[in-house]
Structure 1
């Protein structure tokens, strides 16, 4: 799936806020749990923030899947 750059940009910002890291330190290929060290509660927070932007529910299980990346979050956000 192709995700537009603006979606990726705001998802990067959301992930950076939740991960408490500068947005410049977050890369699309980074995995939420494995690389960024996020736990399921933080991933739920990301899902809620995405929902607030897009106005539709996000399936948290997709974000909690093993190997889910920042880019995958943007794909999910673009698809809802």
Structure 2
């Protein structure tokens, strides 16, 4: 992934697939747990898919925190 916008698009697509929504239904401000209703198993799967995409570990605990948004997820995936 080369840019933050690319990362956000990738994250939105992964979440759309996990949540069984279209990418247009997934907004950067949506919260993973509260708005999209992802459960801990889906968060684990998301973390694994992100790790495969970015080629390094992604902190699953940060993804699973209350109030974590789709945009936060993209930032977590690209954090050094």
Indicate the TM-score class for this superposition, using the shorter chain for normalisation. over 0.9
The corresponding residue for 1:46 is: 46
SS in 1 for 2:75: helix
TM-score by length of 1: 0.93
Partner of 2:78: 78
Which residue in 1 is equivalent to 2:10? 10
CA distance in structure 1 between the partners assigned to 2:78 and 2:55 by the alignment: 12
1:67 to 2:67 alignment? yes
Q: Which runs of 5+ in 2 are unaligned?
A: none
Gaps of at least 5 residues in structure 1 are: none
Deviations 1:20-70 (A, max 9, x none): 100110000000010001101001111000000011111100000010110
- For normalisation by structure 2, the TM-score amounts to 0.93
Q: Which runs of 4+ in 1 moved over 6 A?
A: none
- Give the RMSD, CA atoms, in angstroms: 1.1
Q: CA deviation at 1:11?
A: 0.6
Q: Partners in 1 of 2:38 and 2:7 — Cα distance?
A: 21
Alignment size in residue pairs: 78
